[in-house]
Amino acid sequence: MAEGPKVVGDLIECGYRPRHLYAVEKWIESHPDTNVITVSEEELKKVSFLQHPQQVLAVFPIPNADMERPLHPQLYLALDGVQDPGNLGTIIRIADWFGISTIFCSPDTADAWNPKVVQATMGSIARVHIIITDLAKLMQETTLPIYGTLLNGESIYQKTLTEEGIIVMGNEGNGISAPIRRLIQHRLLIPPFHKGAESLNVAIATAITCSEFRRRGLFPRERFIF
């Protein structure tokens, strides 16, 4: 379920076909060709998960993203037990920003199609494939390098980072689980810059890690899109 012109619009633009689409007059006026059920503001309020419903609400079938085998030589994220829907939504938005087209989620990661997650992605869920899978099996089968942020890692700023690979991010409280940790080939650490600081939120750590991988690709060749 997706709400609001931005999120619903992004999904439709990316080829998602809504199974049900409800909107107030204002939205319908600017989308004259859409097959939609007109609702009043009050009716929308009744079914919305948002505190302030935003004109349109749509129900989509959950997409079935197939895993390419073998994996393409590109950058992937793998989430090992990320629990908070807000964090998961933010991570999907970060992946979209950095052109990471597929995220692998362990079965115990939060549900990416939970409406809270969908809204937190701000529409990015339309552009990022989510594949729920056994991460250990995936990591054992692939020939791509496997990176993870761990407390005993080496500074990400000084490690060699490849343009392709799987970046594993762990649970908010416990980090990467023991079975997955053993399969990490390259242990990365985002070093704190003073002694008091103890932790970074997992979405923040994901952003810094993705930024660091992508910036390497810019030098010496330039890979900007504009």
Binding string to a second copy for residues 135 to 174, with x set by CB under 8 A, is what? --------------------x-xx----------------
Task: Tell the smallest beta-carbon distance from residue 31 to a second copy (Å).
Answer: 19
Instruction: Work out which of 82, 93, 118, 180 binds a second copy, going by CB under 8 A.
Output: 93
Annotate 138-169 with b (16+ C-beta within 10 A) or e (fewer). Answer: bbeebebebbbbbeebeebeeeebeeebbbbb
Contact 153, 65 (CB under 8 A): no
Choices 23-31, 41-49, 116-124, 130-138; region in contact with a second copy by CB under 8 A: 116-124
Contact 134, 179 (CB under 8 A): no
Choices 44-52, 60-68, 76-84, 89-97; region in contact with a second copy by CB under 8 A: 89-97
Element (H, E) at 189: strand 186-189
Choices 43-51, 58-66, 91-99, 170-178; region in contact with a second copy by CB under 8 A: 91-99
Instruction: Kindly give the residue spans of alpha helices, DSSP state H, lying in the chain.
Output: 4-13, 25-29, 41-47, 85-97, 115-120, 135-141, 178-181, 202-218
Name the site residues for a second copy (rule: CB under 8 A). Answer: 10, 86, 90, 93-94, 96-99, 122-124, 127, 155, 157-158, 190-201, 203-204, 207-208, 211-212, 214-215, 218-219, 223-226
